[in-house]
DNA sequence: ATCATAACAAACACGCAGCATGTTTGAATG
DNA sequence: CATTCAAACATGCTGCGTGTTTGTTATGAT
C-alpha cells in the first residue's frame, strides 16, 4: 500500500460511482435525456464532484463509452477463441461477429455505443476509441485471414471498418430478423475467399 | 389560382424559410449546438411561427432530413442511370454507390443524415424515411441484380441495409482514403456473384 | 501545528425549449 | 360591406439544464 493511498482510493471511488451511475442512466434514457443532476443523485455525490473529475458531460460520457468498449472487446475476444473445434481464420471472424451480436443484445449498450456515441463524441473520437478495442482485434483477425491466404488481399483497415459498420447495423435490427442478416453477412464474408 | 391561395402561399413560404434556415444551421453546427432562436432569426420569423408549424425542434429537424433524403435519392438515381454505356445490374449498383459517395462529400449533409439523425430521431424513424428514398432504390437495384441472376439469391432488404451501412461508413472517411474503401466495397459486391 | 493542495459542496448566471397567452391577417357569410 | 371565425403568427413567461464560481472540508507534507 502506498502512503498516499487513501486519497487515491477516495478519488477512484467517486469516479467509479459517477461512471457507473452515468452508465446506467445513459443506457436507459440516452445521452440527451439524462441530466447531470440525475447522475450525481444516483451516484450519491454532488455536481461539484462531477465537474471536478470531468471537464463536462461529454467527458463523462466518453469515459463510459471507453469502459463499455473495453468490456465488449473482451467478450468478443473470448467468443472468437472459444469453440476452437472448428478452426480457420474465416470461421474465427464469423464467430467473433456472432459474439459481437450476442453482446449487443443489450438495448442500452446499443444506444450508447452505436447511436449516441457518434453524435455526441463525433466519428473521429469514436474511431479512435474503437481502434484501441474491438476494431483493433477485428483488424488482427482480417490480417490473419489474409496472411493465411484464406481471403483476397485487401487493405485490412478499410475492410475491418466496413465489416464493423455492417455488424453495427445488424446489431440494431429487431431480434427476430437478425438471422437473415447473419446469413447475408456470412455470404458477403465468404465471397472474399480467393 | 385557387381562392384560398394567398393564405396557402404565406404558410408555405414561412415553412420553407424555416426549413431552409434550419438546414443551413444544422449542417454547419449540428443539431444540439443549434438553437431555435438562431434558426428563427436566420429565417426572419419568430419562435411562435416555428412552434405553430412544427411540434418541436425534433419535428423541424425531421422535415429537414426528409427533404435532404429526397434530393439525395434523386442525385443517386441520376448517377446510377447516367453512363449507360456500361450496362449490367451490378455495374449499376456500383455506379449508384459512387453517386452516393460523391453526393456525400458535403460535410453538413454527412453530419445531418448519418451522424445526427439516428441519435435525434432514432434508428426506426430514420429507417422509415430512408426506406422511402435511398434505401428503396437500393433494394430495387439489388432485386434487379438477383432476378438477372447476376448475384446470389439473398434476402434483398437485409442485403440492402448492410450495403447501405457500409456506404454510410465509407462516406465518413477522409477524402484521401475513400478510394481504398471503394476498392474493398467493390470486392465485397463482386464476391456476391454466383 | 500549519500550510498547501486536492476533493468535494453550494450557489449563481446564462441560455434554451416549450407553452400559454395575445394580436393580426384573411377568408367566408349573410 | 360589416361581421364572424379561424388560421397564422408574435410576445412573454416558466422551468430546467449546463457550466462556472465561490466556499468548505479533508488529506498529506513540512
- Please write the tens of the pLDDT for every residue from B82-93: 766 667 899 999
Are both A40 and A77 inside the same structural domain? no
Instruction: Please tell me whether residues B66 and B143 are part of one structural domain.
Output: yes
Residue B163: domain span: 57-190
The reply to whether A43 and A86 lie within a common domain is: no
User: What single-letter DSSP state applies at residue A122?
Assistant: -
A135, burial (CB in 10 Å: exposed 0-12, middle 13-18, buried 19+):
buried
Q: How confident is the model at residue B5 (pLDDT cuts 50, 70, 90)?
A: low
Q: Which residue is nearest to nucleotide C28 (CA to C1')?
A: B4
Query: What's the rounded mean pLDDT across residues B120-132?
Result: 97
Q: Same structural domain for residues A63 and A50?
A: no
Q: What is the pLDDT of residue A84?
A: 62
In this prediction, residues A130-152 reach a mean pLDDT of 96
My answer on whether B66 and B159 are in the same domain is: yes
- Residue B15 sits in the same domain as residue B93: no
Taking CB atoms within 8 Å and a gap of at least 24, the contacts of A92-95 are: A92/A141, A92/A144, A92/A145, A93/A138, A93/A141, A93/A142, A93/A145, A93/A163, A93/A189, A94/A186, A94/A189
Q: Do B185 and A162 touch (CB under 8 A)?
A: yes
3-state secondary structure of A193: strand
Flag whether pLDDT at A2 surpasses 50: no
Predicted confidence (pLDDT) at residue B1 exceeds the cutoff of 60 = no
Provide residues of B within 8 Å CB-CB of chain A. 30-32, 115-116, 118-120, 122-123, 152, 154-155, 158-159, 161-162, 164-166, 168-170, 172-173, 177, 180-181, 183-185, 187-188, 190-193
User: How far out from the chain centre does Cα A60 lie?
Assistant: 16
Mean per-residue pLDDT for A88-98?
Answer: 91
At A85, is the pLDDT very low, low, confident or very high (cuts 50, 70, 90)? low
Q: Which residue from A167, A28, A154, A183 is spatially nearest to A102, judged by alpha carbons? A: A167
Binning pLDDT at 50, 70 and 90, where does residue B4 land?
Answer: very low
Please state, in angstroms and rounded to a whole number, the distance separating the CA atoms of residues B146 and B4: 50
Question: Which residue in this structure is represented by grid cell 459498420?
Answer: A165
How many Cβ atoms are within 10 Å of B132's Cβ, its own excluded?
13
Q: What is the pLDDT of residues A24-61, one digit of tens each?
A: 999 999 999 999 999 999 999 999 999 999 999 999 99
Nearest residue on chain B to A152, alpha-carbon basis: B187
Same domain, A73 and A151: yes
Q: Which residue has the higher pLDDT, B6 or A121?
A: A121
| CATH code (residue A6) | 1.10.10.60
pLDDT band at B6; cut points 50, 70, 90: confident
Structural domain count of chain A? 2
Residue A165 dihedral angles phi and psi, to the nearest 5°: -60, -40
Q: What is the largest CA-CA distance in chain B?
A: 60
Encode pLDDT of B139-173 as tens digits: 999 999 999 999 999 999 999 999 999 999 999 99
- The CATH number assigned to the domain holding B119 equals 1.10.357.10
pLDDT at residue B94 greater than cutoff 60:
yes
Q: Are A152 and A74 in a shared domain?
A: yes
Residues A157, A85: one domain? yes
- Count of beta carbons in the 10 Å neighbourhood of residue B55: 9
B17 touches strand D (CB under 7 A): no
B113: nearest Cα among B181, B160, B172: B172
The answer on pLDDT for A4 being more than 60 is: no
Q: Please state, in angstroms and as integers, the Cα–Cα distance from residue A145 to each residue in A135, A160, A163, B162, B183, following that order.
A: 15, 12, 14, 22, 18
List the single residue in A with minimal CA-CA distance to B126: A115
Averaged confidence pLDDT in chain A: 93
Q: Which residues touch strand C (CB under 7 A)?
A: A 7, 10-11, 14-15, 45-49, 51-53; B 3-7, 10, 34-38, 47-48, 51, 55-58
Q: What is the pLDDT of residue B10?
A: 82
Amino acid at each position: 500500500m502506498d502512503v498516499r493511498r487513501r486519497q487515491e482510493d477516495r478519488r477512484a471511488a467517486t469516479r467509479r460511482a459517477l461512471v457507473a451511475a452515468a452508465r446506467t442512466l445513459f443506457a436507459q434514457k440516452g445521452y440527451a435525456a439524462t441530466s447531470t443532476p440525475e447522475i450525481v443523485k444516483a451516484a450519491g455525490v454532488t455536481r461539484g464532484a462531477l465537474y471536478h473529475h470531468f471537464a463536462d458531460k461529454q467527458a463523462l460520457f466518453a469515459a463510459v463509452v471507453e469502459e463499455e468498449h473495453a468490456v465488449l472487446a473482451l467478450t468478443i475476444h473470448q467468443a472468437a477463441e472459444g469453440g476452437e473445434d472448428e478452426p480457420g481464420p474465416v470461421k474465427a471472424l464469423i464467430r467473433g461477429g456472432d459474439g459481437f451480436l450476442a453482446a449487443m443484445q443489450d438495448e442500452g449498450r446499443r444506444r450508447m455505443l452505436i447511436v449516441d456515441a457518434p453524435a455526441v463524441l463525433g466519428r473521429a473520437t469514436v474511431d479512435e476509441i474503437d481502434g484501441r478495442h474491438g476494431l483493433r482485434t477485428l483488424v488482427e483477425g482480417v490480417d490473419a485471414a489474409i496472411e493465411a491466404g484464406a481471403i483476397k488481399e485487401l487493405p485490412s483497415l478499410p475492410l475491418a471498418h466496413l465489416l464493423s459498420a455492417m455488424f453495427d447495423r445488424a446489431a440494431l435490427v429487431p431480434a427476430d430478423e437478425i438471422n437473415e442478416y447473419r446469413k447475408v453477412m456470412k455470404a458477403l464474408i465468404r465471397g472474399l475467399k480467393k
